[in-house]
Amino acid sequence: MKSLYKTSSNYHRLLIVFLPVSTSVKGILNHGKLIFRINKLYAPPHQLTIRNKHSATNLHVLGAKGRNGFTLVELIVTVTVLAIIVAIAMPSILTQLTRMEARRVKTQLQNTLALAKAESYITRQDVLVCLSNNGRRCNRNADKTLLAFVDTNDNKRFDARVDTLLTQEQLNLKYSTLKLRVGSRRHYTKFWGDSGKPRGHFGHIKYCPTSSYNESMYQISFNQAGIVKYKLNSDHPTDC
């Protein structure tokens, strides 16, 4: 085996020595390419193994880079498809959001009125419910906050230094507005401490949509007996 390898090596040296002569005579051989092929043919086995390992490693790295990246065309197509999906689904999403808001506000109104009725009867004090702005000032057409408080000084408005605040519900309306409608254009409804009933102060709070996606219209009414009812627009027009 050693003799064979020695003979091959000697043949390799002879070829390298006579290669320029042969190239100059024939004029058609490429010296550099031929040297590379001869070296590859007669290279020791361990060198070939190392070169093959390096080549495999390089191919693996290039393949990994190709798998981890996106081309510009792929990115544009992906973004376009997502935009189309969002555009198609947007009306349904907005409709669902408006329904969720209508249900949430309905629950807030009913719970606040029920609390005011119960608190006025238990404590034997007058309790007022009103819509207010961010400054806690009651207004018939305010829609920022829903207040229920004990009107200690009987001035028909909330005074933080004197009155007792029972609850303050942030309405956070995005697709609607609220309007309080009580007789004599009052900006509040009062539950009397002697009975827990809003006699003379009965009426309703209207829920009116402000978005084309919002189809909910209703009113939360409270009669002289203090009974709170949810009334749909189809049965009791809100005239929003």
pLDDT digits (tens, 9 = 90+) for 211-226: 999 999 999 999 999 9
- Paired residues of 232 in beta bridges: 218
More confident residue, 23 or 200: 200
Kindly indicate the confidence band of residue 30, based on its pLDDT and cuts at 50, 70 and 90: very low
pLDDT of 28 > 90? The answer is no
Return the minimum-mean-pLDDT range out of 25-29, 83-87, 134-138, 202-206. Answer: 25-29
Please give the share of the chain, as a percent, with pLDDT higher than 70.
Answer: 72
pLDDT of 134 > 60? The answer is yes
**Cβ distance 204 to 219 under 8 Å?**
yes
Mean residue pLDDT across the chain: 80
Kindly indicate the confidence band of residue 138, based on its pLDDT and cuts at 50, 70 and 90: very high
More confident residue, 165 or 28: 165
The confidence score (pLDDT) of residue 177 equals: 96
The confidence score (pLDDT) of residue 67 equals: 56
User: Which letter does DSSP use for residue 237 in this model?
Assistant: -
| 3-state secondary structure labels for all residues of 143-171 | CCEEEEEECCCCCCCCCCCCCEEEEEEEC
Side-chain half-sphere of 94: how many Cα atoms within 13 Å? 16
Average pLDDT for 76-99: 91
The confidence score (pLDDT) of residue 60 equals: 54
Kindly indicate the confidence band of residue 19, based on its pLDDT and cuts at 50, 70 and 90: very low
Which range is most confident: 25-29, 85-89, 189-193? 189-193
Kindly indicate the confidence band of residue 230, based on its pLDDT and cuts at 50, 70 and 90: very high
pLDDT of 112 > 80? The answer is yes
CB-based contacts of 206: which residues, under 8 Å, 6+ apart? Answer: 178, 179, 181, 218, 219, 238, 240
